[in-house]
Amino acid sequence: MRSMQHPHGIVHQSPPQAGRRDGTVRLPDGRTLGFAQYGDPAAPPVLYFHGFPSSRLEAGLIPIPGVRLISPDRPGYGLSDPKPGRSLLDWAMDVEALLDALHLDRVALIGMSGGAPYAAACAHSIPHRLTATALVSGMAPPGFGWEAGSPAGFLMGMGRRPMALRPMALRLTAHTVRGFIRGGDPLALAGLLRRRAGLPPSDRVLLNADAGEKVVTGWREAVRGGVEGPVSDALVYARHWGFPLEGIRGRVSVWHGTADTTVPVAAGRLYAARIPGARAHILEGEGHFSLIFKHHPAILRELLEGPADAVRAA
């Protein structure tokens, strides 16, 4: 393992494996932040914030040539130490420390699903470090009218008190799910994922055995050390985010599929309506997974080159 000194601590980088280069950085408060890098180290840098619950391995599902894709584990996930009581805005400070450690001044940013709120927090707090931000199939703030049948709705809006605001029930559920994910066969779990009730055809087609197994592998890595990552994420999502979407500045694009049954398309429309100058791409028939799988070239092109009309918004 190779190390290099930096004012914020030491960056450790492991030898490449399967096209992925894992690393860790020591943050100013002493915590370890894990991350993975994919692609050409000399190419334009793009940060990728994984979904909920997932890990830095999620970025490896998306073949994005011509960029240096950097995907950090949020606190408590994968290689990253937990941070009790963390907030969305705390994440922006962690990201800035990571960029400093990697000697990166400005980067483009993709926030996928549960990673979108964290991308929005960075666009609000450290816009000077971002060239552009894409919010893809993003979870919306608390108080949003979640659809009862969606997984995000179960977490954020079901019943008189959402699951995310019942810590004991949340932790118990998380431990049960962790045991299921860690103990089950990845291929069998991938099959269950494909057969999930309500999953749209566009998602079912893409979640074949190989892709589904990789999604499950990302989940397993997320909970390798316990449930602190997803539990703290759930609490963060359900509390007030600490900033208004209307206060976000910089170049922001919003991408969402009309057939998304994991996070309803109304969440994407909410982001687009409230973020000043946001460019909306609401894609007919696309689901939660299919949008990023099929349209990442257009997402990336708009991030790196500016507004594009290659994908038409519905």
SS (H, E, C) 31-84: CEEEEEEEECCCCCEEEEECCCCCCHHHHHHCCCCCCEEEEECCCCCCCCCCCC
Given this model, what pLDDT does residue 156 score?
52
Distance CA 296, CA 312 (A): 14
Distance CA 261, CA 300 (A): 24
Angle between helices 167-183 and 209-222 (to 10 degrees): 130
| R_g of the chain computed on alpha carbons | 18
Cα dihedral value 229, 235, 241, 242, nearest 10: -100
Given this model, what pLDDT does residue 15 score?
66
Closest Cα partner for 153 from 14, 261, 289, 9? 261
SS (HEC) of 198-222: CCCHHHHHHCCHHHHHHHHHHHHHH
Domains contained in the chain, CATH given: 2-305 (3.40.50.1820)
Given this model, what pLDDT does residue 219 score?
84
Residue 313, phi then psi, degrees to nearest 5: -80, 140
Q: Are 302 and 290 in contact (CB under 8 A)?
A: no
List, for the chain, all residue ranges whose pLDDT scores fall below the cut of 70: 1-10, 14-16, 18, 145-197, 209, 307-314
Residues facing 107 on adjacent strands: 130
DSSP state of 111: E
Given this model, what pLDDT does residue 12 score?
75
Given this model, what pLDDT does residue 143 score?
73
Given this model, what pLDDT does residue 3 score?
45
Given this model, what pLDDT does residue 159 score?
43
